[in-house]
Structure formats: C-alpha cells, structure tokens
Chain A
Amino acid sequence: MQKIGIFLGCNIPFNRPDIEYSMRFLLKELGVEIVELEGATCCPAYGTMPSLGLLEWAVASAWNLSIAEEKGVDMLTGCGSCYGVQNEANYYLKKHPEIKEQVDKILAKVGRKYDGTVKVWNVINFIYEKIGLDTLKQKIKYNLNGLKCAVQTGCHNLWPSKAFPSGEDNTFFPKRLREICEIMGGVAPHYSTITDCCGMGALRSNAPEKSLALFKKKLDVIKEELDPDLAVIGCSSCLLQFDAGQALLIEQKKLNYKIPALHLAQLTAIALGAEVEKATAMASIPLNGVITKIKGGN
C-alpha cells in the first residue's frame, strides 16, 4: 500500500479545513495510507523565515522535512506556498553544502537530522503521477457530467520548476490539472490568462486593493472566454482568493457575476463520494448548481 505524509501547513487546517477533510477522504478512497507528521509547523511562509536569510529558510523547512524523513515518507500538501517553499529549501540544501552543514548543526542541537531524501508533492502532481489518471477514472463514483472547469494551477505549483520533483512539460502552458478534470468527465479548456497570478499572498496582505483588481482582471477573462460552471484550483491560497476574495469583490459591488470555486482535492473527494456538506463547508460562493450537475442533474 502506498503511503504519504500529509503536510497541512496553516491555511488548510485553520481557514479551510474542508480541504483537509477532502485530502484525507480522497487518499483513503484511492488506497493511500495517510501518515501524520506530528510536530510539523508552517512551511515557513515566504514572508517569514525566507525573508530573514537563506539559512533561516533552509533550517525551518528542514525541521518539517526531517519529520517526514524519520517516518520514511514523502510529503503531500494542498498549499502552493508549502509546496514551493519546501521544495526550494530541498533544492538549496543540495546546492549549498555550506548551508547544509550549518543546518545539520542546528538540527542536531534540537535532536533532529535530515539527509535530504524527502520529496514534496502537490495534489495535482500526486494524482497525476502517483495515482494515475486511469486509476482515478475507475475509482470515481460521480462523473462530472460535462461540467465546464476553468483551472488555476497556482504560481508556486509551477515555478521555479528546477526545484520541483515533477511537473508540467511547459510550465507556461500547464495541462495536468485540465487533464485531471477531463478524466473525471469535465471539460477544461485552455484560456489566455491560465497562468496569471490570482493576487493572493504578499500582494493581498500588503496592497489589498491592487491584489483584488489583479484578480478581477483574471476573473473577467475567465468569464468572457470560458463562462465556466466552476473554477478548479490547485492551491489553497488561490482558493481563498477565488472564493472569499470573489465574495468580497461582489460585496464591494465590483463584480456582477459569480464563479463557484473548489480546490482540486475538494472536487476529487466529491467525485469519489465524500460528504458534500463537509467537503465544501467553508465555501463562500454557493456551489448548488455544481453539485447538482455532478450528482447527475442537468
């Protein structure tokens, strides 16, 4: 039986535990044993330890990586930042032996060690490579019934590609998330701003109006080019922007349409038969039409 360490991060367990529920559900249904990473922390987010120093970044990520290594598992995360930060830390540890030496010393002081064996996966690449599209197709209980999906892979799931264990053939023309939606019975066309940033993250924290304006530009293109039933998101931070951020734009009367949004883990869990109330518990934009279509309605 395949095993994976579930790396939760911050936004998923605290803001969107419906994604955590969904990740746990889909792993169980796909026959993957979940290994808890007890004592894991924040990845750490780009604006924290990485902004203090390269050693600070590497050692704080190495803490988490060492917990997975001790348990003999790779990590799975639903958050783009957790994916990017920890993969980059892994990359730096290999590339800079002088940093690795310092990291080893600090880890030893707190009774830990890290040999660099852990790979960090996101939900897209894990489903695509470790589960496989054919297996996913066989296991789903509900077909997406032609649901039109606008996909958002998320910046941190794409770049810097050289630091990642797997990924797209062309990161500026991502296809994996589209293929996953389509194998489950959806339709997921390319659109012109498919790789554009959603504006969540440091921009949202430090320049919220510019962040939401950037997001609206992307939404307007999605609406005009695809007019989708659903946005399918590969990163929990992007989902916060696509869902709560979109609700904020509507509240501010800056948006006069709605595009429901789900993290890929949520959509896959629902297709595998998860309890919809739990899998979508924190959603701000109503999903009734989407769920009706998946469950066999119009």
Chain B
Amino acid sequence: MEEGGVNVIDLTQGDESFVKELIALGADELRECIQCGKCGATCPMALAGLEFFIKRIVHAANLGLRDILLEDSSVWGCQSCNRCVEICPMDIKPYEVIQAVRRAAVKVEACPANTYEGLRNLYRFGHAVFPKGFEERRKKVGLPEKPPTALSFDEFRKKYQELLRQTILEEIAPFPLD
C-alpha cells in the first residue's frame, strides 16, 4: 500500500496455483469459507492492530494473492490461539490457513529472521527458546544446572537431530545440519 493511498485488493493478481499450494500445505477446507467474519471478530491480531488479521488472510488466500501474503509479515504475528478454529461455522480451521501461508513463505525464505533462530536452537539444543544464564536461575531454586531434557543427553539429542533431518528442515535450513 502506498502512503496515503487506499489498500485496494487487485483481483487480477490472483494466482490459482497458489490457492492449490495452500490447500496442499494444510488449508484443506479453505474453499468452504463464506466470509462471515467471525474469525476476525475474535482475532487478537485484529485487536492488536495488525493490518492482515485472520479474516483478511483467509480472503487473500482464497483469491491466491501470493505477493500480498508473502510480503506482509502479519502471519508471523499470529498467536496460534485457535479462537478462529473454535468459532468458525464452516470449520475451515482458519489457523491452518495461517500455517499454510507460513509453510509457503518458508520455502521461498519469506520469513522473519527469528524463525531461523528458533529452528537453529531447536536443532542444536533440542529447545527453540534457549536463553542465556539459565544455569544460575536453576541453581537459585535448587534445581540441577541442566534440565533432564535432550540438553542433558547427547544420545537423545543426536537421535532427535536425525529425526529432524528426515523432514523438510533438511531442505530449507539456512544453517548446517551436522
């Protein structure tokens, strides 16, 4: 959208193959949407003021507006709260549309840098959230420095990494999987 302009959706930009891609990536009931807007009425992204909240994302997905969906970062601000899934009268699982857009975006590296940070931490340590200084915090409450997760067991961590390498992560990770 240009500054001061009106955000008009250009229907000629629609790409049917993108709709099919999203359906294949998990948005399997996308076509059933009746545009009732109930999802938007419960969406925290809408309440927080993100331009592309769930109703607009489902609409754009149904029109196959690939560029709008991949250029706008709103899908990455979705809380995965699933209110939309709970409330959708057509059971299209709107949140799955968000995830399908994310899955399409990752394939062309159209995702925020912190997505890779989480994936890298998950692969290296077995934990997507891995903040510094945790050893001291754990000692303070009388717990061992490391929790008894994959972090403490090399054998488990290596097996878990082997599992992750069997997925699409092997193809898209912009960091070494060794």
- By CB atoms of chain B within 10 A, which of A160, A201, A278 has the most? A160
Q: Smallest Cβ distance from A222 to chain B, in angstroms?
A: 16
B137 pairs with A15, CB closer than 8 A: yes
Within the assembled complex, what's the spacing in Å between the Cα atoms of A152 and B169?
Answer: 35
Q: Smallest Cβ distance from A197 to chain B, in angstroms?
A: 4
Within the assembled complex, what's the spacing in Å between the Cα atoms of A196 and B45?
Answer: 11
B148 within 8 Å of A by Cβ? Answer: yes
Given contacts A45-B118, A202-B79, A207-B50, is CB(A159)–CB(B169) below 8 Å?
A: no
Q: Which residues of B contact A47 (CB under 8 A)?
A: 76, 114-115, 118, 128
Q: Beta-carbon contacts of B159-173 to A below 8 Å, as 1s and 0s?
A: 110111011110010
B86 pairs with A42, CB closer than 8 A: no
B153 pairs with A14, CB closer than 8 A: no
B38 within 8 Å of A by Cβ? Answer: no
Q: What interface size band does chain B fall in?
A: 35 or more
Given contacts A15-B137, A42-B128, A48-B119, is CB(A59)–CB(B149) below 8 Å?
A: no
Q: Beta-carbon contacts of B46-81 to A below 8 Å, as 1s and 0s?
A: 011110000000000000000000000100111111
B127 pairs with A14, CB closer than 8 A: yes
Q: Which residues of A contact B137 (CB under 8 A)?
A: 14-15, 17, 281-282
Instruction: Please report B residues at the A interface, Cβ cutoff 8 Å.
Output: 25-26, 44-45, 47-50, 73, 76-83, 85-86, 95, 99, 102-103, 106, 111-112, 114-115, 118-119, 122, 126-131, 134, 137-138, 140-143, 147-150, 152-153, 155-157, 159-160, 162-164, 166-169, 172
30 A-B pairs with CB atoms under 8 Å apart are: A15-B129, A17-B134, A18-B141, A20-B141, A21-B142, A21-B143, A38-B153, A39-B157, A41-B126, A41-B150, A41-B160, A42-B128, A48-B119, A49-B119, A50-B99, A52-B169, A53-B26, A53-B167, A63-B163, A106-B163, A106-B167, A110-B163, A155-B83, A199-B48, A205-B112, A206-B77, A206-B112, A207-B50, A210-B50, A282-B140
